[in-house]
Structure 1
């Protein structure tokens, strides 16, 4: 579903960096949207005690997380639970695609956290040639063909259910444990993926039990997407997004903050970078006027 509204700013991520950016942009009266997960900042939630955050020695992670969400709510802001699949720069604006919606904003702040996931052998080789990270984007290309969905988050079930009405056969490999809500056409397999095989395109998915699934497509659904796959042309420093002192990326109007910009992975650094990114975005927007 396409939204007609053009926001001043889109904040991607609802951890400390993203919420800090949102608050500082809201203070400066920018019309913004926050796109994040249903449960914001699980890393902060799991921290039993934080001793290095100035002025709050010994504060609990969940206590601080709740305070941040309350602070955001006081500005009338809410987090739109949506996983951004792709961000497309269009010169004077950005299009942000989720599984079900398309948003547009004049500027954007990436606060997606750190991605520390090893890729499958063959994943990089067959990207765009049978490997995809978005079923609703690329699913129609595999009409009438067998596919596999590898997912470490429950949202993968929605992707598999969508593909069940498109593909000839859908194998689902969950990398998490729970009861699954899947179409009867979807086959759940307990084995984990080992490698993706093929010549000019995907032809099979090898599993840890020795089985090789004969599939033409492999959809990989993760909690976060590597930044350079999220935004075409984004400059990286290793696996981190390269930014300057103003948290600007190499793409005009696109800023980044928090763990996604590299070490140290510290709360104070994330909050500070979120503020700088927001102020830089505000300055960019004002200059565009």
Structure 2
């Protein structure tokens, strides 16, 4: 029997961290999914002047303050990628690779993914296109797989797939030199389109086209509509009300994912509201 958390928080930027701090203050049993790097957007911010209490700051300083805060409160980040969330009525099932977590409420704080899907990506989702290589790798035993990696973490997934697939192509979408198993072919190129009939058969790149049975797009975050079926989304943002409630009972959202302005302080405030709303939902449904 899976342990059921009161609150599952997805995302470790300002919204997710603020949500988890407040879940801790409210004595709730929660789990925070994210990265020890917190958020790629925070680390890269050159100058931050509008975060109250931290004048003339920058992203790396703010990140250290955030880290100290969660460490002081004994909050740990579960470094696993949530691939899908299903509402089961009275609770949510969170699919993480080969595991399932259960939570009574969910707070989505995944940020906004600025990489638009390529042509054919959404059309072939589940028919050869996937967002989690470790989950689907067994389907591609002895087959040809292309992996488009948007961050260094994608390299581990590529290495794992290369132990099962007959051939793996790795297309890095970042500047650092990829460090992958020697049996993986690195292609420094830009993906343009996924092609196929009922299933994927090709990945078209700017310079070349490769035959592939599977294409994995390993991004920093999955679009909310793909993450949680039935969630109301408009222009790539989750629709919420002032209490940060989505259209799905028990599911709340906060931060850039719910819309502009994309500011850390606005995200942190929304993370707090989302937790307070989740707490009041839990109390009502005891």
Query: Would you say same fold, with TM above 0.5?
Result: yes
Distance 1:68 1:143 in 2: 42
Moved more, 176-185 or 142-151: 176-185
What's the counterpart of residue 273 of structure 1? Answer: 270
1:55 Cα deviation after fit? 4.1
In the alignment of these two chains, the number of paired residues is: 286
**SS at 1:4's partner residue?**
coil
Q: For the Cα contact (< 8 Å) 2:98–2:135, is it kept in 1?
A: no
Task: Work out which of the residue numbers 236, 243, 248 in structure 1 matches 2:233.
Answer: 236
Distance 2:46 2:183 in 1: 42
Q: For the Cα contact (< 8 Å) 2:51–2:264, is it kept in 1?
A: yes
Segments of structure 1 that go 5 or more residues without pairing to the other structure are none
How is 1:1-289 mapped onto 2 (pairs within 5 angstroms)? 4-99=2-97, 101-209=99-207, 211-289=208-286
Segments of structure 2 that go 5 or more residues without pairing to the other structure are none
Moved more, 27-36 or 52-61: 52-61
Distance 1:178 1:229 in 2: 29
Distance change (3 Å), C-alpha of 1:198 and 1:282? same
Distance change (3 Å), C-alpha of 1:55 and 1:142? closer
Distance change (3 Å), C-alpha of 1:56 and 1:171? closer
Moved more, 115-124 or 186-195: 186-195
**SS at 1:233's partner residue?**
coil
Aligned-residue RMSD, C-alpha:
1.9
1:123 Cα deviation after fit? 1.0
Question: TM-score of the superposition, structure 1-length normalised?
Answer: 0.92
Distance 1:47 1:155 in 2: 21
Note the alpha carbon deviations across 1:89-148, whole angstroms, 9 max, x for none: 222222222336432211111111111112111112211221111223323333332121
Q: For the Cα contact (< 8 Å) 2:172–2:178, is it kept in 1?
A: no
**SS at 2:2's partner residue?**
strand
Distance change (3 Å), C-alpha of 1:46 and 1:156? closer
Moved more, 46-55 or 143-152: 46-55
Moved more, 89-98 or 26-35: 89-98
Distance 2:86 2:62 in 1: 33
